A and B are shown apart, each in its own frame.
Chain A
Amino acid sequence: MRTVLDARDVWFRYGSTDALRGVDLRVDAGECVALLGANGAGKTTLVNLATGLLSARHGALRTAGGDPRRAAVRRHLGVVQQSFGLPKALKVRELVTGAAVRCGRPAATAGPVLAELGLGELAGRGAAELSGGQQQRVRLAMALVNEPALLILDEPTAGLDVSARRHFRRVVERRRAEGTGVLVTTHLIEEAAAVADRIVVVDHGAVLADEPPGALANRLPDRTVTARTSLSRSGLNRLPGVISVEMRGTTVRLGTRAPEALLRELLDADPGVSDLRVEGAGLEESVVALTDAAAPGNGTEEPEVAL
Chain B
Amino acid sequence: MSGMTGVSARNRVLLGAVLRVEIADELRSILREPTALLFSVLMPVGFFALFVSIFGGYDAGAIPAGTRMLATFGTFGVLSVTLMNPGVGVAQDRELGWLRAKRVSAVPVGVTLLAKIAAALPYAVGVLVAMTVTAALTGSLSASPAELLRVLGVLLVGSVPFALFGVAVGFRLRANAAAAVLNAVLMPAAVFSGLWMPLRMLPDFFADVAILLPTHHLARLALAQLDGGQVFGHVAVLLGSTAVAATAAGLSYRYARL
The distance from the CB of B108 to the nearest CB of chain A, in whole angstroms, is 7
Chain A residues with CB below 8 A from B24, complex form? 94
A72 to B107, CA, bound (A): 10
Query: Among B21, B93, B100, B108, which residue has its beta carbon within 8 angstroms of that of A101?
Result: B21
Please choose the segment from B27-35, B41-49, B117-125, B246-254 that sits at the chain A interface, where 4 or more of its residues have CB less than 8 A away.
Answer: B27-35
Type the 1/0 row for A15-59, where 1 means its CB is closer than 8 Å to any CB of B.
000000000000000000000000000000000000111000000
Query: Among B21, B104, B107, which residue has its beta carbon within 8 angstroms of that of A53?
Result: B104
Chain B residues with CB below 8 A from A79, complex form? 101, 104-105
B100 pairs with A102, CB closer than 8 A: no
A98: Cβ under 8 A from any B Cβ: yes
Query: Among A74, A87, A94, A126, which residue has its beta carbon within 8 angstroms of that of B106?
Result: A74
Type the 1/0 row for A79-93, where 1 means its CB is closer than 8 Å to any CB of B.
101011111111000
Type the 1/0 row for B90-107, where 1 means its CB is closer than 8 Å to any CB of A.
000100111011111111
The distance from the CB of B180 to the nearest CB of chain A, in whole angstroms, is 22
Chain B residues with CB below 8 A from A103, complex form? 105-106
Chain B residues with CB below 8 A from A77, complex form? 104
Query: Among B14, B29, B101, which residue has its beta carbon within 8 angstroms of that of A89?
Result: B29
Question: Is the contact region of chain B dominated by helix, strand, or loop, or is it mixed?
Answer: helix
Query: Among B17, B96, B106, B258, which residue has its beta carbon within 8 angstroms of that of A72?
Result: B106
Chain B residues with CB below 8 A from A99, complex form? 105
A169 to B147, CA, bound (A): 63
The distance from the CB of B192 to the nearest CB of chain A, in whole angstroms, is 36
The distance from the CB of A75 to the nearest CB of chain B, in whole angstroms, is 5
Chain A residues with CB below 8 A from B21, complex form? 97-98, 101-102
A81 pairs with B106, CB closer than 8 A: no
Chain B residues with CB below 8 A from A52, complex form? 103-104
A87 to B102, CA, bound (A): 12
Type the 1/0 row for A82-126, where 1 means its CB is closer than 8 Å to any CB of B.
011111111000100111011110000000000000000000001
B25: Cβ under 8 A from any A Cβ: yes
A89 pairs with B28, CB closer than 8 A: yes
Chain B residues with CB below 8 A from A97, complex form? 21
A89 to B119, CA, bound (A): 15
B104 pairs with A89, CB closer than 8 A: no
A79 to B104, CA, bound (A): 8
A71: Cβ under 8 A from any B Cβ: yes
B101 pairs with A81, CB closer than 8 A: yes
A83 to B99, CA, bound (A): 12
B102 pairs with A102, CB closer than 8 A: yes
Chain B residues with CB below 8 A from A86, complex form? 96, 98
| A interface with B by C-beta (< 8 Å) | 51-53, 71-72, 74-75, 77, 79, 81, 83-90, 94, 97-99, 101-104, 126, 142
**15 A–B pairs (Cβ distance < 8 Å), ordered by A:** A52-B103, A72-B106, A74-B104, A74-B105, A74-B106, A75-B105, A83-B97, A84-B100, A84-B101, A89-B33, A90-B29, A101-B21, A102-B102, A102-B105, A102-B106
Contacts A98-B25, A103-B105 given; 8 further ones with Cβ under 8 A? A52-B103, A72-B106, A74-B106, A86-B98, A87-B96, A98-B21, A102-B102, A103-B106
Closest 9 pairs between A and B when the two form their complex, measured CB to CB? A84-B97, A71-B106, A85-B96, A89-B32, A89-B29, A74-B106, A101-B21, A102-B105, A51-B104
| B interface with A by C-beta (< 8 Å) | 14, 17-18, 20-21, 24-25, 28-29, 32-33, 93, 96-98, 100-108, 258
